[in-house]
Amino acid sequence: MAKTKTAFFCQNCGTQYAKWVGQCSSCKQWNTVVEEVVQKEDKKSWNTDSSPSSKSNKPLKIADITSNSEVRINTLNQEFNRVLGGGLVPGSLTLLGGEPGIGKSTLLLQIALQLPLKTLYVSGEESQKQIKMRADRILPDAEHCYVLTETKTQSIFQQVSQLVPDLVIIDSIQTLHSDYIESAAGSISQIRECTAELIKFAKESNTPVILVGHITKDGTIAGPKILEHMVDTVLQFEGDRNYVYRILRALKNRFGSTSELGIYEMQGSGLREVNNPSEVLISKNEEALSGMAIAATVEGMRPLLIEIQALVSTAVYGTPQRSATGFNAKRLNMLLAVLEKRAGFKLGAKDVFINITGGISVDDPAIDLAVVGAILSSNVDIAVAKNSCFAAEVGLAGEIRPVQRVDQRILEAEKLGFSKIFVSKNSKISLKQPKIEVIKIGKVEELVKQLFG
C-alpha cells in the first residue's frame, strides 16, 4: 500500500503548510491549521476505465475548434438564466453559495423540478422524504427529477453512470467525501478532491453540475479559495432573512458577465421570479411622507428604482448615532459632512439613520442624491414630492456628478409614472424628448432650493 501523505491546511483560507504553525501567515487567523491526509492510495478517475487520457489531445488551430457557445440549457427560470448569462453551459461546474436558510436548496430543487430534462438532485443534508415534502409544495408532479441521498462521490458516480442525467445538482459540497482521501467531510482536502472529481466528470460527460456551498461567518464560501478558482461560475444567493426578497448574483462567470442580477420573492410555494423589481421595492403610500426619496439605480443591465428612507432627529446622548442599512456607512458620513460644509445644515448634533427598503443593499454611487434628498427632507420635515426621483453622485465639493447609463434610468422612471427626475447638469442625455421632466442641477444648494423652495 502506498504511504499515506499528510499536509497541514488552514481551515479558513486553505493555505498549505509543510508543518504545523500557530498562526496562518496568509489570513492571520490563529489555530486554524490542521493536519489532513492528502492522498491515501493510487487514485482512479471517476470513470473506471483508467487510461490516463482516453481522448487524443492534440493542439488545434483556434479557427478549427468548433464552438458550441450557442448551446445553452434553458433552465426555464428567467432570473437564473439571466445571471448565468443565458442558461447553463453543458459541462460547466456552477457553485451556489449563501447563508443557511436563505433558499439555496429551494432554488435548485425548483430548477430541477421545472427542467424538462432528466435531473439528478443529490442531497447529503436532507432525506428523500424531506425533499419530497418540499417538492410537493413547489411543483407536485414533476416527471424528470430524480433524488438521491448519498455523500460518497464514488457511489454518486456509480448511480450517475446508470441514470445518465442531463443535469446533476449536489447539495452540498461540504457533505461529500471521497474514498481516496481520509480526512473528514467538509475539510479542505476533501472539498478540493470532491470538486476535482466532479469537474472531471462534468468535462468528460459534458453534463452541467451545480454545487451548493456553505458560507462562513464572514460571508465567504467555506473551504479554500481554490474552490472558487476551480469552478466555472460562482453564484451568491443573498438577502435579509427577515424580508422576502432574495438576490442572486454572479461573483465569477466564465461564460457571461458578472454584473447581472436575479431577484426572487420567497413564498409559501417556493421562490417566485420578480420580473419587475422596481414595482415591488417602492412602497405604495397614498400621501408623501417626509424622509423618503426614490433613487434610480442600475444593477447589472437592469434599471431599478429603490426607496431610501432617512430619519434625522436630535441626538439624545453625547455622540450622535449614524447608522445605515443597505448603504455604506462611510459614504453616509461623507454626505453628511458635505451637507454641513456646503449647504450649511447643522447635522453634527443629530442622529441620522438611513434605510433602503426591501432589505437589499446597493453600492451604486448614483443613489447619493436620493440619500441627500431623504436626509434633507427628514431634517426639515417636509416631504419630497411623490412624483420625483433622483440619479446622481455627490462629490466632496458639493457638486452633483453625472452617472453612467442615465438614459436608462430616466426611461425606467418614466415607465413607472414619475414626472420629475433630478440629474447632474453635466449628464449626457441622448434621449430626444422624454415625457418626464429632467431637472439638471450642479450643486447641493440648488437641490435644496428645488425641493423646498
Task: Give the CB-side neighbour count of residue 300, counting CA atoms within 13 A.
Answer: 20
Least separation in angstroms between residue 79's CB and Mg ion is: 19
Least separation in angstroms between residue 271's CB and ligand TYD is: 8
When asked if residue 183 is in the footprint of Mg ion (CB under 5 A), the reply is: no
Least separation in angstroms between residue 108's CB and ligand TYD is: 8
Of 171, 210, 203, the closest CA to residue 77 belongs to 210
Strands 233-238, 245-253: pairing kind: antiparallel
Contact with ligand TYD (CB under 6 A) among 270, 326, 358, 359: 270
CB atoms closer than 10 angstroms to residue 300: 16
Spatial distance between the Cα atoms of 41 and 180, rounded to a whole number of angstroms: 7
Q: What does 246 interact with, of Mg ion, ligand TYD, none (CB < 5 to 8 A by kind)? A: none
CB 337 within 8 A of CB 393: no
Q: What is the DSSP letter of 83?
A: H
x/- site string to ligand TYD, residues 237 to 266, per CB under 6 A?
A: -----------------------------x
By C-beta, is 213 or 359 nearer to Mg ion?
213
Q: What does 31 interact with, of Mg ion, ligand TYD, none (CB < 5 to 8 A by kind)? A: none
When asked if residue 103 is in the footprint of ligand TYD (CB under 6 A), the reply is: yes
By C-beta, is 104 or 401 nearer to ligand TYD?
104
When asked if residue 97 is in the footprint of ligand TYD (CB under 6 A), the reply is: no
When asked if residue 359 is in the footprint of ligand TYD (CB under 6 A), the reply is: no
Contact with ligand TYD (CB under 6 A) among 72, 82, 104, 177: 104
Question: 139 vs 115, 118, 144, 265, 410, CA distance in Å?
Answer: 11, 16, 12, 16, 39
User: Which phi and psi angles does 197 have, rounded to 5°?
Assistant: -65, -40
Provide the phi-psi class of 194: left if phi over 0, else alpha when psi is between -120 and 50, else beta: alpha
Least separation in angstroms between residue 105's CB and Mg ion is: 3
Least separation in angstroms between residue 104's CB and Mg ion is: 5
Of 20, 60, 55, 57, the closest CA to residue 36 belongs to 20
When asked if residue 213 is in the footprint of ligand TYD (CB under 6 A), the reply is: no
Q: What does 103 interact with, of Mg ion, ligand TYD, none (CB < 5 to 8 A by kind)? A: ligand TYD
152-181 in b/e burial notation, b at 16+ Cβ within 10 A? ebeebbeebeeeebbbbbbbbbbbbbbebb
Spatial distance between the Cα atoms of 352 and 361, rounded to a whole number of angstroms: 18
Query: DSSP secondary structure string, 6-23?
Result: EEEEETTT--EESS--SB
Query: DSSP secondary structure string, 97-143?
Result: EE-TTSSHHHHHHHHHHH-SS-EEEEESSS-HHHHHHHHHHH-TT-S
Binding piece for ligand TYD, criterion CB under 6 A, among 86-94, 133-141, 288-296, 325-333: 133-141
CB 422 within 8 A of CB 390: yes
By C-beta, is 102 or 111 nearer to ligand TYD?
102
By C-beta, is 150 or 204 nearer to Mg ion?
150
x/- site string to Mg ion, residues 84 to 123, per CB under 5 A?
A: ---------------------x------------------
Contact with ligand TYD (CB under 6 A) among 78, 269, 283, 333: 269
How many residues bind Mg ion (CB under 5 A)? The answer is 1
Least separation in angstroms between residue 11's CB and Mg ion is: 21
Interacting residue ranges for Mg ion, rule: CB under 5 A: 105
